[in-house]
Amino acid sequence: MPFPKISTARLSQIIKGFARSSIMVIGDSMLDEYVWGDVARISPEAPVPVVHVQSRSFRLGGAANVVQNLKSLNVTPHLVSLCGDDEPGKSIRERLTQSGCSADGLIVSSHRTSTIKTRIMARHQQIVRVDAESVNDLTVAEAALLWDKFSSLLSEVQGVIISDYSKGVVSKPFLARILNACKKRRVFVAIDPKKRHFDLYKGVNIITPNLREAHAALGLPYVNIEDKDIETLGWAIIRKLDLPYLLITLSERGMALFDRAAHRYFHLPTVAQNVFDVTGAGDTVISVYSAAVTSKAKPLEAAFLANHAAGLTVAELGTACVTGEELLAACIKKLSQ
């Protein structure tokens, strides 16, 4: 179904409303490290490139990046997450503070290490990624601390984002308690999913899988399917997980939004002019969509904004954030074409 026209005045109204929105982000926080260099030769020890390191940089990832995205949009974010008692954990806390986000909900655990993803880059091309992480489920003590923080914040927010990277924070007992509390208060819940937890997501307001994750939701092997098959896939997920809305991100093909009540499917073509890196694009999508819905946008309007935000962030290397002003300008430019 073609996407309906949206006025720039309406988009401006929604984006201005971001400042009145407060959203809690629960999930796995991590640190993204980039090792930048150049390749001039192949190693004599093995057929692999030798990267001559020129610089290093660090960025927030996972739930911490979602919080940073919300802050950039002028939403008031609250993080509920874990990190290790280590240098990466300290760096996550420092970078949250530097970006103007509260780190009060980032609980330090002596039972796990902080997740750090190290990407070796040569001339803007990723050579390899090295992950150091703990993926154990929450201990009883960790779950109690996170629940206390969640409970203290729930009355202050209009929405909850679950940023699930399968690193331990999102476990079945903990998530069940969260969703039950949100349901009682009628708080909007959006989930950025991972394949091993799909059965936990039943009945939430929306999930935002990519195409590979959408296949995993139904236990299917991933294949790059045609648009008509994406529609079939989406409705099957809607039925299986009892979702009112589903937003599947399709990389260079844009997004697909499913509305169960109206039984409508919308394909939003990509607006990206250049695609350098999709790292963190899912964080941007769920941040903008949730910010819009909690600012009284209709799901179609929220998806429109999220699609344009994603088009901006994939044009940059590494995780990136979009401001409300940048988002509105991009939308106005596209609508004037």
Q: What is the pTM of this model?
A: 0.93
Burial 58-74 (b: 16+ CB within 10 A, else e): bbbbbbbbbbbbbbbbb
Q: Which helix (H) or strand (E) holds 162?
A: strand 159-163
Closest CA to 248 of 263, 227, 262, 277: 227
Q: Of the candidates 337, 291, 292, 333, which has an alpha carbon nearest to the alpha carbon of residue 312?
A: 333
pLDDT given at position 278: 55
Tens-digit pLDDT profile for residues 154-206 = 999 999 999 998 899 998 889 999 999 999 999 999 999 987 788 889 889 99
Token pair for 270: 């990509």
Rounded to whole angstroms, the Cα distance separating 292 from 297 reads 5
Of the candidates 164, 259, 277, 283, the residue annotated as catalytic is 283
Over residues 58-74, mean pLDDT: 95
283 has catalytic annotation: yes
Whether 122 and 103 have beta carbons less than 8 Å apart is answered as: no
Structural tokens at position 235:
């409705």
Taking the C-alpha atoms of 312, 314, 319 and 325 in order, what is their torsion angle to the nearest 10 degrees? 0
**Statement: residue 213 has pLDDT above 70:** yes
Phi, psi of 46 (to 5 degrees): -165, 160
Rg (CA), the chain: 20
Written as one letter, the residue type at 337 is Q
Q: Write the pLDDT tens digit of every residue in 94-153.
A: 999 999 999 999 999 998 999 999 999 998 888 999 999 988 889 999 999 999 999 999
CA distance 186 to 230: 30
Q: How far is CA 258 from the centre of its chain?
A: 19
The pLDDT of 238-243, averaged and rounded, is 95
Mean pLDDT, residues 286-292 taken together: 97
What is the set of domains in the chain, with CATH numbers?
8-31+60-115+134-335 (3.40.1190.20)
Alpha helices in the chain (DSSP H): 8-16, 63-72, 87-98, 140-153, 172-185, 211-217, 227-241, 281-293, 299-313, 324-335
